[in-house]
Structure 1
């Protein structure tokens, strides 16, 4: 990171379904706010959802908006370190998780690499991403997109507006 790097608005999805998932997601929001050159601007409420293409208990999901001077690859590296510190293991594809952090959007960037795809390739297929994203920035989610996913139950957890 360079001191003169311009800040970019990015959106990060957070999820967990092992351990105290609500506390883990809240703690991860705070940890992201501590990353160098990064400020959390908006936090969605917490949402409870059934696993999609996964197993285990229900997930707790949220989305945050950040302003960051970190490049997208460095931001991903920092997020993966936070996942690791939270005990994230990857024994098989879509395994239950102590913490999952995904960059959804990074400014207007389109990134396709072996390790990073922005915009996130499945974000428009997941109500657990679009509902909290729409809460913090309704301009990013068309109502028809959420309606198309109405078969995916997403429950906003009362009293979790952050």
Structure 2
């Protein structure tokens, strides 16, 4: 059975735009035919206190038949193939893929929490998500658009449409 999923994509090392381009192709391979869409690419400032380059972010949406943990494993394999090394919390990375939403499900397991815990506060997630799913209602029955402020939109720089 197919389910609609949304995945945040981010990178700030090793040619971030190309990292996103390669990740988009890998994510397309997980999608059921003709269901894949990706937002514009946005530039954003890094979170936390670690000094590092700015990020390039996007969100992909697609339908998949993979179960949640199977999808998580596939996302982590894509990160690994693109050189992701987990050294520092909120540190620089070649690629970060976060499963934001898995249909309307709430998942709280040791390896996976969906909806993604920080998505409601992150402009670099909400704005690109609104590019591809402007009428989305989150599992908490909140509309996506109601979470996005003008300041959030102003924080980001559109890099590639």
Same fold (TM over 0.5): yes
Give the alignment's TM-score, normalised by structure 1. Answer: 0.87
- The answer to whether 1:41 aligns with 2:36 is yes
Match of 2:18 in 1: 23
Give the alignment's TM-score, normalised by structure 2. Answer: 0.88
- The answer to whether 1:133 aligns with 2:134 is no
Shift of residue 55 of structure 1?
Answer: 3.6
1:127–1:146 contact (8 Å) kept in structure 2: yes
Shift of residue 142 of structure 1?
Answer: 3.8
1:65-104 alignment runs, 5 A limit: 65-104=61-100
How many Å separate the matches in 2 of 1:40 and 1:97? Answer: 28
Distance 1:39 1:29, change over 3 A: farther
2:126–2:144 contact (8 Å) kept in structure 1: no
Match of 1:156 in 2: 158
How many Å separate the matches in 2 of 1:77 and 1:39? Answer: 22
Shift of residue 27 of structure 1?
Answer: 0.9
When the two chains are superposed, the root-mean-square deviation of aligned CA atoms in Å is 1.9
2:127–2:153 contact (8 Å) kept in structure 1: no
- Tell me the secondary structure at the aligned position of residue 32 of structure 1: helix
Shift of residue 74 of structure 1?
Answer: 0.4
How many Å separate the matches in 2 of 1:66 and 1:110? Answer: 18
Distance 1:95 1:137, change over 3 A: same
Per-residue deviation, residues 63-97 of structure 1 (Å, max 9, x unmatched): 01111000011000000011011111111211100
Unaligned runs of 5+ in 2: 137-142
Match of 1:146 in 2: 148
For these two proteins, the number of residue pairs brought into alignment is 154
How many Å separate the matches in 2 of 1:55 and 1:153? Answer: 18
- The answer to whether 1:114 aligns with 2:110 is yes
